[in-house]
Amino acid sequence: MLAHRNARVAAGRRVAAAPGQRAFVGARPCRQSLVAAKAQKKEMMMWEALREAIDEEMERDPTVCVMGEDVGHYGGSYKCTFGLYKKYGDMRVLDTPICENGFMGMGVGAAMTGLRPIVEGMNMGFLLLAFNQISNNCGMLHYTSGGQFKTPLVIRGPGGVGRQLGAEHSQRLESYFQSIPGVQLVAVSTVKNAKALLKAAIRSDNPIIFFEHVLLYNIKGEAGDKDDVACLERAEVVREGTDVSIFTYSRMRYVVMQAVNELVKKGYNPEVVDLISLKPFDMETISRSVKKTRRVIIVEECMKTGGIGASLSAVINESMFYDLDHEVVRLSSQDVPTAYAYELEAATIVQSSQVVDAVEKVVGRAAVHA
């Protein structure tokens, strides 16, 4: 059911027509990763795109390996490593016992000594058990060793609120991890950005915490080819507009675009920016948008308290106070555990009607901006 809704939303959105630019190493960061003219267009589901990214990178670099529960023979709980053990063997696609802190630490040690592990959390929530290794070792070790060792890990897995999975399987860890110094946080949302960003994360020398969403694995879209490697620090302008800047990430992008369909009919013209890089924020894209629209709504799935929106709101306040005509509005999940019952679960997270209401409130009547 959700897949249908997503497909409609995906069809309805207008991708900002940013010209494909060559990515180059230098002072100016890449705007988009596409080598547009040569990009091979293939339609597939997100899990297939992630699998393709892992496969391509493992083929390209023999030090890339995967570790996690059921990643090997089972193929991954969400099929992201389906069949890869047959191609690469049991050691490169390592089925671990159930000991998150232990195998996360093992990934750190392997990374310090020259390998590039991709560590999968079967559900991101399970990585709470690995917080010790992620915070102390993954994040801080490059610093405490005086730069002697690096920890090029990718820590990936599904998070977010699914379909009545209960409180513990519905967690959003991005807000818990965001304060850890030394890690980058990336949240993917489309087939295209998922594949391109995972490739970039695997190639990065920094530890990247890579957030996928339980409900997005089956969305369809076009994936790039094996040279499409995205920029990890860049946000994505989903829709250009003038009324209000809506900053969002992960599945909430689709909730926002669903609201946008309705808002457009009412005469509004919102700009939608998918943050992608939850830490660090792409302040160039963000500030350009804020200065243009002078109104900000943040739509996120994590809890309001201490969430990504809390950080972003503070940063916008501090650096763009006089560019705002309205206080920054945050639409976040309620500070409650996610209930099992459908209605309560729906009441916990942001729905598209709330986004519509927020835009109407922040922008005022559409006629003003006609």
Q: Rank residues 37 and 148 by Cβ distance to another protein and give the closer one.
A: 148
**Nearest approach, Cβ of 345 to another protein (angstroms)?**
32
Q: What x/- string results for residues 289 through 318 when contact with another protein is judged by CB under 8 A?
A: --------------------------x---
199 binds another protein (CB under 8 A): no
Residue whose pair of structure tokens reads 């879209």 in the numeric block: 221
Q: Does 24 bind another protein (CB under 8 A)?
A: no
Q: Which of 39, 46, 50, 65 binds another protein (CB under 8 A)?
A: 65
> Is 169 labeled as catalytic in the residue annotation?
yes
Helix 252-265 and helix 352-363: axis angle, to 10°? Answer: 50
- Closest distance of CB 96 from another protein, Å: 7
100 a catalytic residue: yes
Measured CA to CA, the distance from residue 130 to residue 150 in angstroms comes to 18
232 binds another protein (CB under 8 A): yes
Helix axes 283-293, 308-320, angle to 10 degrees: 60
> Taking each helix axis from N to C terminus, what angle separates 46-60 and 191-203, rounded to the nearest 10 degrees?
30
- Stretch 326-365: interaction string toward another protein, x if CB under 8 A: ----------------------------------------
- Residue 223 CA to residue 49 CA, distance in Å, equals 6
- Give the β-pairing of 329-333 and 296-303: parallel
- Which residue lies nearer to another protein by CB, 291 or 361? 291
Site residues for another protein, window 272-291 (CB under 8 A)? 277, 279-285, 287
Between residue 129 and residue 188, which ones bind another protein under the rule CB under 8 A?
132-133, 136-137, 141-152, 181-182, 184
Of 68 and 160, the one with the shorter C-beta distance to another protein is 68
CB of 144 to another protein, least distance (A): 4
Amino acid letter, 168: E
Considering beta carbons, is residue 183 or 188 the nearer one to another protein?
183
How far apart are the C-alpha atoms of 151 and 300, rounded to whole Å?
Answer: 29
- Residue 95 Cβ vs another protein, minimum distance, rounded to whole Å: 10
Active-site position among 48, 56, 100, 236: 100
What is the secondary structure of 132-151 as a DSSP string? HIIIIIIITHHHHTTTS---
Residue from 341, 302, 357 nearest 161 by CA: 302
Estimate to the nearest angstrom the gap between the alpha carbon of 182 and the chain centroid: 18
Cα distance between residue 298 and residue 332, in whole Å: 8
Contact status: 73 vs another protein (CB under 8 A): no
Determine if 202 is a binding residue for another protein (CB under 8 A).
no
Residue 267's Cβ-count burial label (10 Å; 0-12, 13-18, 19+) is: middle
Q: Between 12 and 181, name the residue whose CB sits nearer to another protein.
A: 181
Instruction: State which residue, 164 or 287, has the beta carbon closest to another protein.
Output: 287
* Residue 197 exposure: Cα atoms within 13 Å on the Cβ side: 28
- Write down the H helix ranges in the chain: 2-12, 46-60, 84-88, 100-112, 131-132, 141-144, 174-177, 191-203, 252-265, 283-293, 308-320, 342-348, 352-363
From 120, 169, 271, 300, active-site residue: 169
- Nearer to another protein by Cβ, of 209 and 297: the residue is 209
Q: According to the binding rule CB under 8 A, does residue 242 interact with another protein?
A: no
The Cα–Cα gap between 164 and 334 comes to 16
When asked if residue 18 is in the footprint of another protein (CB under 8 A), the reply is no
Binding to another protein by residue 55, rule CB under 8 A? Answer: no
Bond preceding residue 270 cis, omega within 30 of 0: no
Q: Provide the minimum distance between the beta carbon of 81 and another protein in the complex, in angstroms, as a whole number.
A: 16
Active site residues: 100, 169
By CB under 8 A, name the binding residues for another protein.
27-29, 62-63, 65, 89, 91-92, 94, 96-97, 99, 101-115, 132-133, 136-137, 141-152, 181-182, 184, 204-206, 232-234, 277, 279-285, 287, 315, 319
